[in-house]
Amino acid sequence: MVRFIVSRFFQAIPTLLVLVTATFFMLRAVPGGPFTAERSMSPEVLKNLNEYYHLNDPLWRQYVRYMVGILPKTFRPSQLVVDGQIDLKAGLGMDFGPSLKKPNTTVNEIIAQKLLVSLELGLWALLVALALGLTSGVIASLRPNTWSDYVPSAISMAGICMPTFVIGPLLALVFAVYLGRFNASGWYEPSDRVLPALTLGFAYAAYIARLTRGGMREILSQDFIRTARAKGAGEVRVVLRHALKGGLLPVVSYLGPALAGIISGSFVVETIFQVPGLGREFVNSASNRDYPLVTGTVLLYAVLIISFNLIVDIATVWLNPRMRQAH
């Protein structure tokens, strides 16, 4: 397992490097800049701003400066010589640089303020997806080709077909506008978590339900399940003790992509419900051409997704004895 984890870690390094490099150059390939939309800004002020944020430097120099800045302090050189000049780098940990659109605010500060909100939303959405998906999938697998199977399967198909930008406004219209049970936007009360979490978790609950149904149907048809029933084990004991562990393997394997989808899907949900999270900040920064904030957010989400996938892979190996022996 240690060798498996170490190999995955070193595989992630070139992935992150390619991702950051592509994001850096693609942002700057788009015509215009962070300050070109400011109509009231004089050419002198625009020139000073570009010089202050090093936007007038050659692109390769900007890239080198940024890559050195995001290195952890342990690996960061204390000095960097570029064009015969010494560029001192300071700060603790990974330095994503200053925000171009928020004066006197760094990207690290914005991430520290907004990330916990996005992680909380993702956690609630994952709990919704697991609760709805596992329950409906197990129920559907116990009585196949009956109403207990048809109804959850139909709801799951609807959840797969309907995107979050359709589900979110519909939930807000019904439960916030017509019924008045929840707020249509904001993140102030505990009840404000309900609609965004349902919107984000419903689609993944549908996938989890179908995977749970398929995995449980395969396990329930095995000989050891028939043996357990022949010995007089009740249906609840058969499901919870004998079938559930093997039946959940497809779900555990799916949790990696699901977590990645929940993280990226929060961009849309946070915008719909005006949730003050990092996803909404990312959307605004992309519109405002805030280069450091966009690149820093992309890198942070990439690290989170790779970490989640690694945890899911470890859990899959632990649950599957054959894979455990292979590693």
Tell me which DSSP letter residue 98 carries: B
What digits encode the pLDDT tens for the residues 9-35? 788 888 889 999 999 999 888 887 777
Mean pLDDT, range 53-60, rounded to an integer: 86
Under the banding of pLDDT at 50, 70 and 90, the label for residue 157 is confident
Mean pLDDT, range 203-216, rounded to an integer: 87
pLDDT at residue 123 is higher than 70: yes
Closest listed residue to residue 193, CA positions, set 131, 278, 270: 270
pLDDT of amino acid 89: 41
pLDDT of amino acid 39: 63
Instruction: Using CA atoms of 268, 274, 277, 282 in order, give the dihedral in degrees to the nearest 10.
Output: 50
pLDDT at residue 293 is higher than 70: yes
268 torsion bin: left (phi>0), alpha (psi -120 to 50), beta (else): alpha
Q: Domain spans of the chain?
A: 107-326
pLDDT of amino acid 87: 43
Which residues does 300 contact at the CB level (< 8 Å), separation at least 6?
A: 111, 115, 278
- What percentage of residues in the chain have a pLDDT greater than 70? 88
pTM of the model: 0.77
Under the banding of pLDDT at 50, 70 and 90, the label for residue 37 is low
CATH code for residues 107-326: 1.10.3720.10
What digits encode the pLDDT tens for the residues 176-203? 999 989 998 889 889 999 999 999 998 8
Integer angstrom CA distances of residue 72 from 64, 91, 93, 130, 150 = 15, 10, 5, 35, 53
Under the banding of pLDDT at 50, 70 and 90, the label for residue 74 is very low
Judge contact between 174 and 166, C-beta under 8 A.
Answer: no
Which residues does 277 contact at the CB level (< 8 Å), separation at least 6?
A: 114, 115, 117, 118, 121, 187, 266, 270
HSE of 273, CA atoms in CB hemisphere, 13 A:
37
Under the banding of pLDDT at 50, 70 and 90, the label for residue 247 is confident
